[in-house]
Amino acid sequence: MYDLAWRSKRLKRENVGQIRIIEAFLAVLIIFSSFTVSANLTVVQNISNHDNMALTGLQALVKLDSDGSLSKYVDDEDWTGLQDVLNLALPPGIAFNLTVYNRKMEQINMDTISNGGFSSQQISFVEYVCASQDSNFRCYVIHLCLTVAT
């Protein structure tokens, strides 16, 4: 009788140790799930970097449009001139790709307006609407993609 009680007590004590180990593994599970959640939070910073590049591109387009020269390049279909002027207007190290659409969203530029180097996955996008200053009113939608040149 005494032997049975002693064995039962011993078994309980052994189980307590096992439960502690299970607790430890539960703690591991909780901690690593917190790692997973916190790792996802860093995405916010990438959005901010995208915003900075997009603002730079937008400011360049606004400046070129302020005297009507942006729409003049499109009216004249001077895609080389537009590419050259964007090369000058944008800071070094930024690759761009520009597409011009009419108001029906049909692509106007048949030539590529780009300085190449688009291998990065972090691409900023700017949509800009400009109007022709010609006597015939025309409206253009400009899509400018920007990335860090590689």
Partner 1 sequence: MPVISVDTFFACALMVLLVLSAMAATSKLLYPHMSKAFDINTAERYESISKYLLLNDGTPSNWGQNIQTTLETFSLAKTGSNTLYELDIDKVSRLNNANLHSVSYPQIFTTLEIPDVSFRIEIKPVFEIVTNFTSITEGLNETSYDFEVLTEKYGVPVPTELKVYAVANNHLESKQTYASNGKTFMNITIPNDVNGPALLVVFARSISNSKIISFNAYSFAHNSNEPNSEGTFLRLSPLNYNLTASLVYPEINLSDAYALSFDYSATLTQIINDSQSSIYIIPRLLDPSPTLIVVTGWNYTSFFTEWTTYPQVPLQTGANFSTSTSLTNVHAYTYLVTIDSALYKCTIWLGGPRD
3-class state of residue 76 by DSSP: coil
Binding segment (CB under 8 A) for partner 1, from list 79-87, 104-112, 123-131, 137-145: 79-87
Is residue 109 part of the contact set for partner 1 (CB under 8 A)?
no
Is residue 5 part of the contact set for partner 1 (CB under 8 A)?
no
Is residue 48 part of the contact set for partner 1 (CB under 8 A)?
yes
Cα angle for residues 49, 53, 55 (degrees, 5° grid): 115
Contact with partner 1 (CB under 8 A) among 1, 5, 14, 136: 14
Is residue 129 part of the contact set for partner 1 (CB under 8 A)?
no
Total of chain residues touching partner 1, rule CB under 8 A: 43
Contact with partner 1 (CB under 8 A) among 88, 104, 106, 137: 88
- Note whether 95 and 146 are within 8 A (CB): yes
Binding segment (CB under 8 A) for partner 1, from list 13-21, 101-109, 125-133, 142-150: 13-21
Is residue 80 part of the contact set for partner 1 (CB under 8 A)?
yes
CA neighbours closer than 13 Å in the CB half-sphere of residue 108: 22
- Note whether 128 and 144 are within 8 A (CB): yes
- Under 8 Å CB-to-CB from 63, ≥6 apart: which residues? 89
